[in-house]
Amino acid sequence: MKKKLALMTACLLCLTLLAACSGKSTVTSGSSSAVAENSSTVRPASSAQTTTSDSKTSDSHKTAKEDAAMQTEDKTMPTRVLTGGTKIRMHFGDTVITGMLNDSDTAQALIAKLPVTVSMNRYSHDFCGSASDLDLPYQDDEVHYGWLNGDIDYAVDAPWFTVLFEDEDVSEQYGYQVNIGVMTCPLSDISALNGSYDVLIELDNSAS
């Protein structure tokens, strides 16, 4: 009897440890929930590095900086510089975050659907919400690692609509990103916000 009890206790302990480990995992493809508070809402790039032989390695993968027009003098403003795009307004309660969407297939598909509302939550370096209902297309060669502060991205693994306002220096550990635009207001306008919002995204008809 004692041996049976000991065996049952050992099995229970193993199951408990497995549950604890799985609870620490990040968002996986198809998940409808975000990871723990104050952590990223985009999946770490490590899972994307196990690819076929003709794929780029972890040392040569495409990053958000490649081919990007950037400004680095004013750290209070978005790093990416985008001209000639489509201006939008994102309503976080009473706070309006202005932005500009680019000419990528993903951004153009989103523009065609506006106005839309996305439920978004604050995490350590972004606001993020599920974009599964938007069903946006993307080109494989536009998927990259990392972001620039102020980027508006479509994270294709879940998928997520995300506005990223800090931590660009350590962001290349995160993959599955497609840049679709950039904020056009100070980064502090969004980084000062906390909590959850049903964010109305609409064309900026007031823009000249």
pLDDT at 184: 98
Whole-number percent of the chain with pLDDT over 70: 70
Average pLDDT for 62-86? 96
Whole-prediction pTM: 0.73
Torsion over CA: 196, 150, 138, 26 (sign): negative
**DSSP label at residue 156:** T
Based on its alpha-carbon atoms, the radius of gyration of the chain, rounded to whole angstroms, reads 20
165 within 8 A of 187, measured Cβ to Cβ: yes
Considering the domain 84-208 in this protein, what is its CATH number? Answer: 2.40.100.20
Q: Is the pLDDT at 63 greater than 90, yes or no?
A: yes
Per-residue pLDDT band for 65 (boundaries 50, 70, 90) equals very high
Q: Which residues in 113-132 are b (16+ Cβ under 10 Å) and which e?
A: eeeeebebbbbebbbbbbbe
